Chain A
Amino acid sequence: AKALPVPPEDLEEKNAKTVENYLRKFYHLPSTQFQSARRNSTMVAEKLREMQRFFGLAETGKADAATLEMMGKPRCGVPDTGD
């Protein structure tokens, strides 16, 4: 079978990458280099809430299904906030 189920851990990692990539492109999430994991997750949650507020989603600060669905939609490349 071509469509092999994705193990949950990979899916979570894949989702995390999608979220960081999206927030970096459109919400100026700083690069995670030289930052502690703790600080990074705080920053990601903060930017996620900003993105969820913009799109009128529930401000969970988590990569929930509605947020991931929104991130998957085709869109303009200009950031949603800032310069």
Chain B
Amino acid sequence: FRLTPGSPKWTHTNLTYRIINYTPQLSKTTVETAIEKAFRVWSVPSPLTFTEISQGEADINIAFVPREHGDNSPFDGPNGILAHAFQPGQGIGGDAHFDSEETWTQDSRNYNLFLVAAHEFGHSLGLSHSSDPGALMYPNYAYSDPSTYSLPQDDINGIQTLYGPSNSPIQPTGPSTPTACDPHLRFDAVTTLRGEIYFFKDKYFWRRHPQLREVDLNFISLFWPFLPNGLQAAYEDFDKDLVFLFKGRQYWALSGYDIQQGYPRDIANYGFPSSVRAIDAAVSYRGKTYFFVNNQCWRYDNSRGTMDPGYPRSISRAFPGINCRVDAVFLQNSFLLFFSGPQYFAFNLVTHSVTRAARSNLWLNC
């Protein structure tokens, strides 16, 4: 996190705000609810309180304005700059302006008002932009499901540096952005997707380009707003050119970046009994899909559409040398790459043996 240079902050904690005008795209109630929820993001981890007033001078004025609007920081029409806000202080200090030419929504369509408002109010309170890609105060817009939104730890650290901890006996904590070179990094799921390799972790995924070996971190929600965080397994069905993603008993299908209609579905469709509550990892190879659940391996025949007899069997029996629970697995050339905790094992499908073991985050260029 970063504080605004000079660390300007409000000297009182019971702040007031006033909504000067509204956007015609959302009802007044929806705007008020989004703004109230955005302020609550900051009041929960700090001693700050926010009270709406409808008359007089508020600490934080909120307005929807287009282009040049008198503060020497013109907006630029749809997309580009979405909003801005001023650091704590009298007059325009603390005020937040939203580009009235944007499309403001209360869902995953660009741009969710609650998320942008929560970010701008961070500036109104004295925070600057954070270089943590998972932080609310990161400069670029990134959709996150408002119904499950919790302020990331980086932002909590920032606001508490300025105003101290919350008055509640239990200090709230928030999610931290995974770092590629964390020696303890475990992947939730790994799959290939038309040549690229996707490493899923919490609400993020690293995408590795096969030739350039560049790795970039993205929000799952940026590509697939409807997918949940915390995916557990994933595999690419090369014959159908589909990627399947699993969480709990539900699974989704992607064709490229497009989510297929009619999903999520229940893994009962694969023939799993109700006793199987979740899938740890999955990989498809030569018309068979291998599912890893606890210390067992199931094998599904893609063309017959049923599980093969003789399964489940122990993982170490199906893949000698893989004597651990599997977090994730994917196929590359004639190798299955099994990930377990901070390690991966390369299983040679020709010699039917483990031929290499190393750190998982080597795949992220660490």
Contact = CB atoms under 8 A, between A and B. Distances in A.
A77 B129 contact: no
B42 to A, nearest CB: 16
Contacts of B73: 77
Interface residues of B, number: 27
Interface centre among A26, A70, A78, A83 (most CB of B within 10 A): A78
B139 A80 contact: yes
A77 B140 contact: no
Nearest to B129: A80
B82 A76 contact: yes
Nearest to B8: A83
A55 B216 CA distance: 11
Contact of B75 (A26, A55, A77, A83): A77
A75 interface: yes
B83 A77 contact: yes
B349 interface: no
B91 to A, nearest CB: 16
Nearest to A22: B80
A66 B209 CA distance: 13
A74 interface: yes
A76 B119 contact: yes
A5 interface: no
Contact of B111 (A26, A55, A74, A78): A74
A70 B217 CA distance: 12
Interface residues of A, number: 16
Contacts of B75: 77
Contacts of B85: 78
B79 interface: yes
Interface in A31-83: 54-56, 66, 70, 73-78, 80, 82-83
B133 A73 contact: no
B5 interface: yes
B16 to A, nearest CB: 22
B84 interface: yes
A7 B248 CA distance: 51
Nearest to A73: B140
Q: Chain B at the A interface: mostly helix, strand, loop or mixed?
A: loop
B96 to A, nearest CB: 10
A74 B133 contact: no
Interface centre among B82, B83, B139 (most CB of A within 10 A): B139
A74 B84 CA distance: 12
Contacts of B133: 56
A80 B120 CA distance: 13
Contacts of B111: 74
Contact of A74 (B4, B110, B128): B110
B4 A83 contact: yes
Contact of B84 (A73, A77, A80): A77
A57 B4 CA distance: 23
A83 B120 CA distance: 15
Given A80-B139, A83-B4, A83-B5, A75 B131 contact: no
7 contacts: A66-B214, A74-B141, A75-B80, A77-B84, A80-B128, A82-B5, A83-B6
Interface of A: 25-26, 54-56, 66, 70, 73-78, 80, 82-83
Given A56-B133, A77-B81, A83-B6, 13 more contacts: A26-B139, A66-B216, A74-B81, A75-B81, A75-B141, A76-B83, A76-B84, A76-B141, A77-B83, A77-B84, A78-B84, A80-B128, A82-B5
Interface of B: 4-6, 73, 75, 79-85, 110-111, 116, 119-120, 123, 128-129, 131, 133, 139-141, 214, 216
